């Protein structure tokens, strides 16, 4: 069994809960209130700025030029790829750069990003990679799950969001990170694997908390 498969087995139930969360289901069937989505978009934009910093730590921790290039590309992909989806929605929702600048990250948001940054700064390349994986991989799976809904990708408002997370570019980025985690998991001890599984479980729980926070608008 590949290490990524082992990681997934430990969070399968948590990830299943994403698909049934009212925020995620609301995107899929088009019923999510726009004000909740707006709250999410602002918080997620703030989150992605710190998420990109964790990828930047991957450049620092990398042990080869090839891996450094990979992490560099991922930073660029987040700042100029994934975040372009957010910028598109911000125009549609009337969210200004000033509004984002003046919005504080929610407590759940701060807790999640601080956890990833702490794990990555203290640990090595494996910790960096695994701490990033739950977010990237689960969004691909959520996008795939939602795209099964008839007409979901063509929805006038939420279709763009779903399509972005099942795009070829996003899928390739996710595969790169999964493959890296599998390579890093080949030559580590069971004790090290146990620590990394804990990180993956924790970040997967944080993902659920982010959906919950978004649905309740931080309350």
Please pick, among 127, 135, 160, 192, the residue that the annotation labels catalytic. Answer: 135
Rounded to whole angstroms, the Cα distance separating 219 from 205 reads 18
CA 14 to chain centre: 14
Query: Residue 157 — φ and ψ, nearest 5°?
Result: -110, -55
**Residue pointed to by tokens 């000033």:** 98
186 vs 173: CA distance, rounded Å:
21
Catalytic residue selected from 82, 127, 173, 207: 207
Contacts for 203 with CB less than 8 Å, ≥ 6 apart: 112, 115, 116, 130, 131, 133, 134, 135
Name the E strands within the chain. none
Q: Does the annotation count 16 as an active-site position?
A: no
Q: What torsion do the CA atoms of 51, 12, 10, 199 make, to the nearest 10 degrees?
A: 10
Residue 63 in contact with residue 125, Cβ under 8 Å?
yes
Determine whether 207 is an active site residue. yes
| CA neighbor of 132 nearest in space, from 183, 74, 218 | 74
Just list the catalytic residues.
135, 207
């Amino acid at each position: 069994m590949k290490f990524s498969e082992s990681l997934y087995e430990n969070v399968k139930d948590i990830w299943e809960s994403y698909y049934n969360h009212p925020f995620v289901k609301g995107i899929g069937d088009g019923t999510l209130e726009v004000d909740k989505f707006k709250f999410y978009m602002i918080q997620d934009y703030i989150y992605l700025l710190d998420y990109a910093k964790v990828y930047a730590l991957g450049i620092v921790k990398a042990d080869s030029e090839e891996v450094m290039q990979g992490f560099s590309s991922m930073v660029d992909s987040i700042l100029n790829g994934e975040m372009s989806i957010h910028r598109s929605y911000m125009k549609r929702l009337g969210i200004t750069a000033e509004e984002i600048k003046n919005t504080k990250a929610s407590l759940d948001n701060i807790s999640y990003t601080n956890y990833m940054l702490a794990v990555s700064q203290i640990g090595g390349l494996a910790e960096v990679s695994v701490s990033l994986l739950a977010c990237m991989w689960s969004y691909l799976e959520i996008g795939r799950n939602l795209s099964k809904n008839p007409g979901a990708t063509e929805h006038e408002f939420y279709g763009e969001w779903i399509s972005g997370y099942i795009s070829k570019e996003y899928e390739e980025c996710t595969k790169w990170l999964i493959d890296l985690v599998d390579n890093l998991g080949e030559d580590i001890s069971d004790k090290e694997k146990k620590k990394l599984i804990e990180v993956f479980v924790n970040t997967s729980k944080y993902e659920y908390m982010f959906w919950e926070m978004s649905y309740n608008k931080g309350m």
